[in-house]
Chains A and B, each alone.
Chain A
């Protein structure tokens, strides 16, 4: 069958070779599991002449304890991470990975690919002829946003499940490029723009993710709203990590996905430390998050419903994690 795709696919065996190809081959893009990229390329969302696969890089397909961190290679398939006992201290991460797509997709999809997946919108994730008949859109090939026609901002939503879990666990990511190699906070690689939500520059590669081992002292969990129990992207997803002391919640982090063009992390709440998790305190937390999230009509349920679901899921998690049995998540 003619899929309309045409590119060169290379699978080098080292990080150095991957970044060398990304730097020197015009228009080259990183290819990881391909579960987000391949359906998009078939819809002519992008026509990269070269794809550079990370599947052959052994260093990017391991999970190791290194000093005070757990280091996860970006090319690790999600299904294999679920089978790793090294993630046991991070319930939010395991719960988020288990919620990604369905079992067949998780075998191919990688953790790095999940963090870097494209933003999504009803008017974008469509075939070329569908988008053409609609005059294309602000995100690609067009000049009007069909979600907010009077604006000049693209509201396509970031819908990765794993990023919010890693954000509340304080994860960092290793970014490599030719002659450069650095660790940065995961929170710093995103911006709230549906057209270019990733701040990685051309030629940069997300190599690995590290989680501080002390994050295992936090109680954490992830919950997701979706129409079907499998396959679907989140309509809204919430990760919570918190620490308790003898007075109540001493530290609280909440991250939200599916509502904006980036995953959002909240960690400075005016009501925390919190002695009693009563309705008043939870409403204050809802309000603080509600001021920042902006779910638009980018998916099959309205923004208002998804806004409410963020509050519902956040409360469910906080109540579950503060219950006596909450240590292992909810």
Chain B
């Protein structure tokens, strides 16, 4: 069974004929070529596929693309501005929050979702917001420090 869906991805309206059973992660990566969103555990356990749906973090590997028809999806590709890294991207780069980089898009989108709800979270709130995102390289300390650095950048701006 296939359906035509309309949705907004990274500010652009999309209309596609897709199978009803297509996953959002496959729609983003295979149909739209937005390969910044990573396919990790493929079962909702690692957070690598985190995107924003209507501004809130969602795991695109357990989300059916048709179920977000009519909604707004944002991926890691959308958060830079004219080639300039967002404050979270810049902080992850400068504070070594990224090593192999596979978890980074999911980490940044989960952190982005947090900062939109709560611009000045405490360390425990950052840990809680990122607790569904796994990293095999950093040990998490550098990631949490990166988010804290991004918050300070925001306060100075």
Determine if A3 is an interface residue (Cβ-Cβ < 8 Å): yes
Return the chain B residue nearest A10 by Cβ: B20
Chain A residues, CB < 8 A from B1:
6-9
- B21 CB contact (under 8 Å) in A3, A102, A229, A231: A3
Q: Mark B62-92, 1 if CB is under 8 A from A, else 0.
A: 1110110000000000000000000000000
Taken residue by residue from 226 to 245, chain A's Cβ proximity to chain B (1 for < 8 Å, 0 otherwise) reads as: 00011100000000000000
- For A231, the chain B residues whose CB sits under 8 A away are 45, 131-132
Is there a chain B Cβ closer than 8 Å to A53's Cβ?
yes
Smallest CB separation, A36 vs chain B (Å): 9
Asked whether B26 is an interface residue with its Cβ less than 8 Å from the other chain, the reply is: yes
Q: In the assembled complex, which residues on chain B have CB atoms less than 8 Å from the CB atom of A9?
A: 1, 3, 20-21, 64, 66-67
- A105 to B1, alpha carbons, bound, how many Å? 26
Residue of A nearest to B59 (CB): A104
A35 to B132, CA, bound (A): 13
The residue that B131 contacts in the complex, of A1, A35, A38, A229, with Cβ under 8 A, is: A229
**Which of B6-54 touch A at CB < 8 Å?**
19-23, 26, 30, 39, 42-45, 47, 50, 53
A125 closest partner in B (C-beta): B43
Q: Which residues of B contact A3 (CB under 8 A)?
A: 21-23, 26
Residues of chain A within 8 A (CB-CB) of B20 are 7-9, 51
A11: CB under 8 A from chain B?
yes
- Contact status A105-B59, CB under 8 Å: yes
Minimum distance in angstroms from A47 CB to a CB of chain B = 11
Assembled-state Cα–Cα distance A108/B45 (Å): 13
B140 → chain A, closest Cβ, in Å?
A: 12
CA distance A39 to B43 in the complex (A): 6
Interface residues of A in 14-42 (CB under 8 A from B): 31, 34-35, 38-39, 42
For B132, the chain A residues whose CB sits under 8 A away are 101-105, 230-231
- Range class of the A interface residue count: 20 to 34
For residue A191, CB closer than 8 A to chain B, the reply is no
Q: What residue in chain A is nearest B114 (Cβ atoms)?
A: A103
Asked whether, in the complex, the Cβ of B62 is within 8 Å of the Cβ of A108, the reply is yes
Binding site secondary structure of chain B: mixed
A-B contact count (CB 8 A): 87
Number of B residues near A (Cβ < 8 Å) is 32
How far does the alpha carbon of A103 sit from the alpha carbon of B58 in the complex, in Å? 9
Residues on A with beta carbons closer than 8 Å to the beta carbon of B22: 3
A255 at the interface (CB under 8 A from B): no
A271 adjacent to chain B (CB < 8 Å):
no
Whose C-beta in chain B lies nearest to the C-beta of A79? B56
Is B110 an interface residue, CB under 8 A from the partner?
A: yes
Min CB gap A50→B, angstroms: 9
Check: B94 CB closer than 8 A to any chain A CB: no
Is B129 positioned at the interface, with any CB of A under 8 Å from its CB? yes
Q: Tell me the complex Cα distance, A101–B46, Å.
A: 11
Taking the closest CB of chain A, its distance from the CB of B134, in whole angstroms, is 8
CB-CB nearest in chain B for A43 = B43
Question: In the assembly, what is the distance between CA of A79 and CA of B117, in Å?
Answer: 12
Residue contact A104 to B19, C-beta cutoff 8 Å: no
Pick from B26, B47, B66, B133: contact of A1, CB under 8 Å: B26
- With A and B bound together, what is the CA distance between A88 and B1 in angstroms? 43
In the assembled complex, the Cα of A9 lies from the Cα of B18 at a distance in Å of: 12
Please tell me which one of the listed residues A39, A53, A79, A104 contacts residue B67 in the complex, with CB atoms under 8 A apart.
A53
Cβ–Cβ < 8 Å partners of B45 in chain A? 231
Asked whether B21 lies within 8 Å of A104 as measured between CB atoms, the reply is no
| Contact between A34 and B30, CB atoms less than 8 A apart | no
Contact A6 B47 (CB under 8 A): no
- The minimal Cβ–Cβ distance linking A130 to chain B, given in whole angstroms, is 13
In the bound assembly, the distance between CA atoms of A6 and B20 in angstroms comes to 7
Q: Quick check: is A5 within 8 A (CB to CB) of the other chain?
A: yes
Q: Which 4 residue pairs of A and B lie closest in terms of their CB atoms, listed nearest first?
A: A102-B132, A230-B131, A5-B21, A8-B1
Task: Contacts A3-B22, A104-B57 known; list 17 others, CB within 8 Å.
Answer: A7-B20, A7-B21, A9-B3, A34-B64, A35-B62, A102-B47, A103-B128, A103-B131, A103-B132, A104-B132, A104-B133, A105-B59, A105-B62, A107-B57, A108-B58, A231-B45, A231-B131
- A selection of 15 A-B contacts at a CB cut-off of 8 Å is A1-B26, A3-B23, A5-B21, A9-B3, A31-B67, A39-B44, A79-B56, A103-B57, A103-B132, A104-B58, A104-B132, A104-B133, A107-B53, A107-B58, A231-B131
